[in-house]
A and B are shown apart, each in its own frame.
Chain A
Amino acid sequence: MAKAFGIIAPPPGHIQIMGLQEHRPIGAFSFLGRFRMIDFQLSNYSNSDIDRIAVFVRTNPRSLTEHLNNGSHYNINSKRGKLQILFSDRHKENDIYNTNIEGYFDNIDILERIHQSYVVIAPPHMVYTQDYRELMEEHISSGADITVLYHHVGDARENYAGCNVIEIDKNKRVLSIERNSGTAKERNIHMETYVMKKETFLDLIYRARKISAMYSFRMIVNEMCSELDVRAVAHRGYFAAVTDLKSYFDANLDLLRIEQAEDLFRDDWPIYTKTTDFCPSKYFEGASVSNSLVSNGCVIEGTVENSVIGRGCYIGKGARVKNCVVSAYTEIGEYVNVENQVIDKWVKISHANRITAKREQPGYIRRADRL
């Protein structure tokens, strides 16, 4: 079996997630309480026997580098394997230059030195499981130059605004990859996941730069659709694209449907993360918890409904947390009522507050705020 090098692409420049992203890159977003977004992609690589991986980071690298460490918790061999973090933070003069192509080009010497014959590129802002060995096999047997993954959805009109869609012919050849215009319900969402030969990858980077300094990798692939054999492969199973606060909120709460969660968390496909060695969670009298995922280290004395609770949180007596995504170390004080909120880490809300929003437009509570 041919070997592949894994690349977690720089976060797309057009995705700006209110609040959360000011503190960490999207890959380091907390997900389902005890995970971070990037855990899913790295576990995909690790479970697919890809143990040479580069992760691109543009801004606020601290939390991501802390979380990734040397990758040993992803089951990546500490000698044979390698998890590299590649930076690209030079293009602050104008955001138009912050393309993933620029990120790749900043590290082109490293990419040139890849000795695996193939690259598997995955995005940091999408959550799914995929066996890349199968995808590689399909890519090689089809003879395509580039293989991309897509996920068919029936709600592209109201959702997936920040995503691209793939047009394919009946032989699954890709005709175009364009922004989702929101004009049709049924769409093939571009999962920004590519398999190709290393040479093809490098060639596309150089080509893109010749055409425009604003070009992204998606744009150059789109441009080359007629010249190259670009094929699409359908993805099945759970898929979420986090492109704004609402989609982040929805992706977390969707997984409270336990059948969905069990599709994403299978015994034969472990999702690895870094342990924080929290003790189990304590429930005291007055606790009432339903349809929720609770991480370790929490103390719960109040009501939690339909929510995801991060590690080491405190939910006080008489408090009510409904439809919320609560990040680690947050305290919801006595008799506080919060609904439809994304609550960042280290927040402390004291008693008798009422903070609610509409389900369609969740609120965000800033990191380490006192309310």
Chain B
Amino acid sequence: MAQHTMLAMILAGGRGSRLLDLTNKVAKPAVSYGGKYRIIDFPLSNCANSGIDVVGVLTQYESVLLGSYVAQGRRWGLDSKDSGVYVLPPREKADEALDVYRGTADAISQNIDFVDNYDPEYLLILSGDHIYKMNYEKMLDYHKKNDADATIAVISVPLKEASRFGIMNTDKNGRITDFEEKPEKPKSTLASMGIYIFNWKQLRKMLVADMKNAESAHDFGKDIIPTMLKDKGRLFAYEFKGYWKDVGTIDSLWEANMDLLEKNSELNLNDPTWVIYSEDRSVLPQYIGPNAKIDVAYITQGCRIEGRVKKSVIFTGAQVGAGARVEDSVLMPGVIVEEGAVVKRALVADGVRIGKDAVVGSGGSGPITLIAKNVKGV
């Protein structure tokens, strides 16, 4: 792809408050996932693999860690000449009051000057907190083929869950006829993934108008897309087939990690043609001790396992002491489970220490326990 044909803007300002203590100090896109990744590695790697070389990351909530993380564009190969990852928090401008990003569309509106610098033909809008592998270049081809004003990526969801999503109703050519936010009686099962391609010149005009509209919530789903539909715009749904997760809650984050334990996991992270890039830490390979027992597990470098691990995902630098048992659990980076401790059906937050012989988590099939504070030994 010619450089800067399409620019990507990743919306990464959300807190993800249903992730409770996990997002006390970091924004949701910076939450760890899958042993060695942060969630935002997925859209960033997808961009890099799709030949997009300039990515703006719109940050707002607790943006320090997220900002410093994504600014190292070389992790994703986004560091060649004229390429880069740019962190864009709200900023003070001449002749304007400093304002936070009031909505997803406003975040782009406030950075029109940034996009204009590159003068792209198309603008790709992404969410920073979804886990999936997608080739945006194919979506752009589809957008061009349809001569579309906007293309929205959709995924088919089970009918009974459809009322949780923004649902697109389409004609037989894939043209969107109607958009319903969380409909009670969904007419289709095509849910919006929050991934949009717009023609920049056209979107720019709409954003300028939207900024002046006092009634607007400045949101793509609530304002921009409905307005385009009302104006009889050519909006197309691009159906994505594959693994896609919006991990909004502790349970769904736990589940998304457990998905990796499947033998033929739909999300294949071992695919040399579509690598998900991440930070690399200077640590030893994973060390499995003489008396360790590992049943089914996903374990990364820097871990030290001396106890028993069953159906669990163990993140960078986590340790499981001798005689300890970790089952159906997720241990985030740097977690230490001391000797004899038991962790069951739990998600243990970064750096937490579970003391000697302590027992945490929940058996059975209830909700997953989040352990976000050190637990004293017994």
Considering the chains assembled together, what is the distance between the CA atoms of A293 and B287 in angstroms? Answer: 5
Please indicate the chain B residues that have their CB under 8 angstroms from the CB of A275 in the complex: 280
Q: Let me know if B372 is at the binding interface, CB within 8 A.
A: no
Verify A280–B300 contact, CB threshold 8 A. Answer: yes
Please indicate the chain A residues that have their CB under 8 angstroms from the CB of B275 in the complex: 277
Smallest CB gap from A309: residue in B: B285
Q: Let me know if A219 is at the binding interface, CB within 8 A.
A: no
Q: Let me know if B292 is at the binding interface, CB within 8 A.
A: yes
Interchain CB contact (< 8 A) of A258 among B260, B283, B289, B298: B289
Please indicate the chain A residues that have their CB under 8 angstroms from the CB of B293 in the complex: 288
A window 232-288: CB within 8 A of B: 258, 261, 265, 270-273, 275, 277-285, 287-288
Verify B287–A258 contact, CB threshold 8 A. Answer: yes
Verify A287–B294 contact, CB threshold 8 A. Answer: yes
Known: A279-B35, A290-B288. A297 touches B295 (CB 8 A): no
Q: Let me know if B236 is at the binding interface, CB within 8 A.
A: no
Interface size class of A (residues with CB under 8 A): 35 or more
Verify A287–B286 contact, CB threshold 8 A. Answer: no
Smallest CB gap from A256: residue in B: B287
Q: Let me know if B329 is at the binding interface, CB within 8 A.
A: no
Considering the chains assembled together, what is the distance between the CA atoms of A279 and B299 in angstroms? Answer: 9
Please indicate the chain B residues that have their CB under 8 angstroms from the CB of A299 in the complex: 270
Verify A291–B34 contact, CB threshold 8 A. Answer: no
Known: A277-B277, A284-B263, A297-B270. A291 touches B285 (CB 8 A): no
Verify A296–B298 contact, CB threshold 8 A. Answer: no
Q: Let me know if B28 is at the binding interface, CB within 8 A.
A: no
Interchain CB contact (< 8 A) of A283 among B270, B284, B299: B299
Verify B284–A279 contact, CB threshold 8 A. Answer: no
Please indicate the chain B residues that have their CB under 8 angstroms from the CB of A72 in the complex: 74
Verify B270–A294 contact, CB threshold 8 A. Answer: no
Contact with B along A291-314 (1 / 0, CB 8 A): 111111101000010001100100
Q: Let me know if B304 is at the binding interface, CB within 8 A.
A: yes
Q: Let me know if B282 is at the binding interface, CB within 8 A.
A: yes
Please indicate the chain A residues that have their CB under 8 angstroms from the CB of B285 in the complex: 32-34, 293-296, 308-309
Q: Let me know if B291 is at the binding interface, CB within 8 A.
A: yes
Majority secondary structure of chain B interface residues (helix, strand, loop or mixed): loop
Considering the chains assembled together, what is the distance between the CA atoms of A278 and B285 in angstroms? Answer: 12
B window 285-313: CB within 8 A of A: 285-301, 304, 313
Smallest CB gap from B315: residue in A: A280
Q: Let me know if A289 is at the binding interface, CB within 8 A.
A: yes
Considering the chains assembled together, what is the distance between the CA atoms of A333 and B348 in angstroms? Answer: 35
B window 232-289: CB within 8 A of A: 260-261, 263, 269-270, 275-278, 280, 282-289
Please indicate the chain B residues that have their CB under 8 angstroms from the CB of A287 in the complex: 294-296
Smallest CB gap from A294: residue in B: B286
Considering the chains assembled together, what is the distance between the CA atoms of A34 and B36 in angstroms? Answer: 15
Verify B287–A283 contact, CB threshold 8 A. Answer: no
Please indicate the chain A residues that have their CB under 8 angstroms from the CB of B35 in the complex: 279-280
Please indicate the chain A residues that have their CB under 8 angstroms from the CB of B284 in the complex: 32, 261, 265, 293
Smallest CB gap from B306: residue in A: A258
Query: Measured between C-beta atoms, what is the minimum distance from A238 to chain B in Å?
Result: 13
Verify B286–A281 contact, CB threshold 8 A. Answer: yes
Please indicate the chain A residues that have their CB under 8 angstroms from the CB of B296 in the complex: 283-285, 287
Verify B287–A279 contact, CB threshold 8 A. Answer: no
Considering the chains assembled together, what is the distance between the CA atoms of A319 and B331 in angstroms? Answer: 29
Verify B282–A270 contact, CB threshold 8 A. Answer: yes
Considering the chains assembled together, what is the distance between the CA atoms of A275 and B295 in angstroms? Answer: 27
Verify B297–A283 contact, CB threshold 8 A. Answer: yes
Verify B282–A277 contact, CB threshold 8 A. Answer: no
Considering the chains assembled together, what is the distance between the CA atoms of A308 and B293 in angstroms? Answer: 17
Smallest CB gap from B45: residue in A: A277
Query: Measured between C-beta atoms, what is the minimum distance from B245 to chain A in Å?
Result: 16
Please indicate the chain B residues that have their CB under 8 angstroms from the CB of A285 in the complex: 295-296
Verify B282–A280 contact, CB threshold 8 A. Answer: no
Considering the chains assembled together, what is the distance between the CA atoms of A370 and B146 in angstroms? Answer: 50
Smallest CB gap from A311: residue in B: B285
Residues in chain B within 8 A of chain A (CB atoms): 34-36, 74, 260-261, 263, 269-270, 275-278, 280, 282-301, 304, 313-314
Q: What are 17 contact pairs spanning A and B, CB under 8 A?
A: A258-B289, A261-B287, A275-B280, A278-B270, A280-B269, A280-B313, A281-B300, A285-B295, A287-B294, A288-B294, A293-B284, A293-B288, A294-B285, A295-B286, A296-B300, A308-B285, A312-B270
